[in-house]
Structure 1
Amino acid sequence: MDPSRDTAEKRDLRERARAFFRDNRPSDPGFKLPQTFLEVESEEQFLWLKAWQKQVYDAGLLGVEWPEAYGGKGLPPGSQRVVAEEMGLAGVPFLVNRIGLDWAGPTILAVGTEEQKQRYLRNILSCDEVWCQGFSEPGAGSDLASLRTSAVRKGDHYIVNGHKVWTTQALWADFMILLARTDLNAPKHAGISYFLFPMKSKGVSVRPLVKMTGEGGFNQVLFEDVEVPASCLLAGEGDGWRLAVMTLAFERGASEGSATGGALASGGEVARLVALAKEVSRDGRPASEDPVMRDRIAELAIEEEALLASALRARVPGLVEERPLALPFLSKLVSTEFGQKLAAVGQELEGPLAQYAFGAERAADGGHFQRAYMNSFGFTIGGGTSEIQRNLVGERILGLPKST
């Protein structure tokens, strides 16, 4: 995070990114924008955010580490993180095709055929094609290997039947990274395959779900005798579990070249908390003067800096060589719980004002922290609950014995 350590090439990229986000910061669209890619609920929001990502890509600031042959710039490792840092500092909107950029794209880049790389990667960066993730099912969330969606080979295509849930942006997506069972008789981890699934196929039904914030974003997806070409299979039959673990590692920031540079590229929320503390009152004085609240905010500031430092540490090969997945999986666990804790402190700062919902006339900071707190549960549950993450880290990464 220290620009003074940039190479000349990265300094030039940082200056270009800083200038672009300064000069092209989008104006207020006149309607509510979601806080994260998990809350995109209307076509109006989606199209606005899609146009923003296209603008960032056209400026040469997206996918900068991906090969030029697939729409990237072929720059050295760490370059995309420079752009992500400047995005965070500028406070510009997020990139809506997050699942394509950070999960589907890196997985295709790692194991896809040349034809698949040429077909999908450029359109992911430009946001011409948006992706969703078809992993969780009603009976297979944290225990993902228990999934029952099936894909049966019939000549040059597969017939897909099943049900996925908590599918972010399925309503707008062109493609899905889909886990389906291709061998019903194999052990549950061995019979799963990974598909680059076209969402506009006949027999696909998408049903939006409403969250406790009153917003959408999540969906359930039903597949009824859906025919998909065999060319949609990624790698080989039975490789699905291995590829799912790879994708989840990318989701947690294991790839330096992920197109958004990682979820926690720069800080900002603690600064927002400090600003709020100066605006609201406790016992007739600004909350920023309350010693207890000052101590709570200081703890969060220290934790935020530690998370940023840990993200840098994950990029130093010598520090992660022995257990390369440990930091990415721990980062998902710690950063999502940090976000939840921070939003809770924000509401505590507001006192009685915390009762006002997002967008209410008297809500402090527009109700940002109320909305952030309710949305935070999507992050601590999605991709494996915090409890599951602790088991994964302890048992599968650190090799600790199972608890009794």
Structure 2
Amino acid sequence: MNGTDPSPSELAEFRAEVAAWLEQHKPADPGFLLPQTFMEVGSDQQLEFLREWQHKLWSAGYLGVHWPSEYGGRGMHAAFQHEVDRELRRQRTPITFNVIGLGWAGPLILDIGTDQQKALYIKGILSAEDIWCQGFSEPDHGSDLGNAQTRAVRDGDDYVINGSKIWTTMGNYARYMILLARTDPSAERKYDGLSFFLSPMEARGIETRPIQKITGEYGFTETFFTDARIPASCLIGGEGNGWRVAMQTLQYERGAAAGAAGGLPQVRISVSDLIDDIRHLRRDGQPLLEDPVVRDRLVELIMEEKALGLADRRTGLPGLNTDYPLSLPLSFKLRASEYQRRMRQYGLELQGGLGSLYVGDEQAVAGGFWQRAYFNNFATTIGGGTSQIQANIIGEQVLGLPKS
């Protein structure tokens, strides 16, 4: 999956190839609202558009470039996928929506799955034939993932599942779920009684109910298991090792571990986009961008955005990650999601009274883009562990601070 480091000229030639292909094949505006992230896929129309786009990108050889060729990838160096992703961002293509498969389940299966599991699941993840969802959070336990109470009881060649999960992204469309369930309720430590499954969603006894978000869109479901039988072969990592496997999965989700297939998980929004969208706004009869206070705040955001970009690049330099290998990626997830929240909120503040308008209002700035983007960003500050949980992790595991 790695191979010899490619030369700058090889990467440049490959990126030029990708750029030319995208110029010819990236989809035109479909005429309906597209999701800003993979957490807003709420209609069959959106799903089929994004599924077709991901399949086209993979068929051209530009998704999972560094995944093994025997499972649908190309077996090239990961740097080539990085060039694809940079070009996807530059050309503002639609998102590659199957993020839980591409970014979490896929890398996990490739790292610790059996050959049979790799052959069964990986190609379908890349092609978008098989959509994946995540069964971690539960209604009664908030961020206390280790206290998951969904039960999995072994019965011959099956496990029988009972319980419920919440905030299941694309649960109503998914074919498979990465599922954390309790197989030993008598374990002395709650973390020792958990197991991890690659669960089919089509099993009898599994039901999903859509959850409407503050934006009016859908994308999440609550998932119920009632005597649902899944094959014992769905177990991954061994019975009782679910907590360790879940923590490994969260490293992918938080960006602290490599291996994702690539693609564009969300629409990239920058300060330059904000500046472009407010150029025509005026305050007290003068262009808003001539206000020195506004300009000063925008410059602060530009500097922070640049710093985040440099911090992301630092994660790939071994010499800067020796003492605390996960400190940079873990802090990046927290800082980036909180930065995006503040930047989008400022985009609303700059609109004054127009900031109260929303998508569909003719007078809304940029069609209500910033309002929708602001509300959608809360999923990012919650997913993978809330910002508060992330701060605790950094304090305890990176800085060595006590829990109390």
TM-score (norm 1): 0.95
Which has the larger displacement, 253-262 or 313-322? 253-262
Measure how far apart 1:305 and its partner are: 1.4
Inter-partner Cα distance in structure 1 for 2:177 and 2:376: 23
Inter-partner Cα distance in structure 2 for 1:210 and 1:228: 29
5+ long unaligned stretches in structure 1: none
Inter-partner Cα distance in structure 1 for 2:395 and 2:59: 43
Inter-partner Cα distance in structure 1 for 2:85 and 2:198: 27
Structure-2 residue corresponding to 1:116: 117
5+ long unaligned stretches in structure 2: 1-5
Measure how far apart 1:118 and its partner are: 1.0
Structure-2 residue corresponding to 1:29: 30
User: 2:94 touches 2:264 (CA, 8 Å); kept in 1?
Assistant: no
* Secondary structure of the corresponding residue to residue 387 of structure 1: helix
Structure-2 residue corresponding to 1:190: 192
Measure how far apart 1:24 and its partner are: 1.6
User: 1:77 touches 1:256 (CA, 8 Å); kept in 2?
Assistant: no
How many residue pairs end up in the alignment?
398
Deviation sequence 1:168-188 (CA, Å, 0-9, x none): 100110100000001111111
Inter-partner Cα distance in structure 1 for 2:399 and 2:81: 29
Structure-2 residue corresponding to 1:249: 251
Structure-2 residue corresponding to 1:222: 224
Give the aligned residue type for 1:395.
E
Inter-partner Cα distance in structure 2 for 1:84 and 1:246: 23
Q: 1:204 aligns with which of 206, 215, 221?
A: 206
Give the aligned residue type for 2:27.
P
Inter-partner Cα distance in structure 2 for 1:267 and 1:181: 38
Inter-partner Cα distance in structure 1 for 2:47 and 2:37: 12
Give the aligned residue type for 1:300.
L
For residues 22-171 of structure 1, the aligned pairs below 5 Å read: 22-171=23-172
User: 1:80 touches 1:257 (CA, 8 Å); kept in 2?
Assistant: no
Inter-partner Cα distance in structure 2 for 1:38 and 1:198: 20
Measure how far apart 1:220 and its partner are: 0.2
Structure-2 residue corresponding to 1:394: 395
Pick closer, same or farther for the CA change 1:373–1:24 going to 2, 3 Å. Answer: same
Measure how far apart 1:323 and its partner are: 2.0
Inter-partner Cα distance in structure 2 for 1:304 and 1:20: 29
Pick closer, same or farther for the CA change 1:303–1:262 going to 2, 3 Å. Answer: farther
Which has the larger displacement, 48-57 or 294-303? 294-303
Structure-2 residue corresponding to 1:385: 386
User: 1:277 touches 1:286 (CA, 8 Å); kept in 2?
Assistant: no
User: 2:271 touches 2:302 (CA, 8 Å); kept in 1?
Assistant: yes
The runs of 4+ residues in structure 1 deviating greater than 3 Å are 261-264
Inter-partner Cα distance in structure 1 for 2:94 and 2:7: 25
Pick closer, same or farther for the CA change 1:279–1:289 going to 2, 3 Å. Answer: same
Inter-partner Cα distance in structure 2 for 1:161 and 1:402: 33
* Secondary structure of the corresponding residue to residue 56 of structure 1: helix
Structure-2 residue corresponding to 1:277: 278
Measure how far apart 1:268 and its partner are: 4.5
Q: Percent same amino acid among aligned pairs? A: 48
Inter-partner Cα distance in structure 2 for 1:260 and 1:283: 46
Measure how far apart 1:84 and its partner are: 1.0
Deviation sequence 1:59-98 (CA, Å, 0-9, x none): 1100011111111111113222211111111111110101
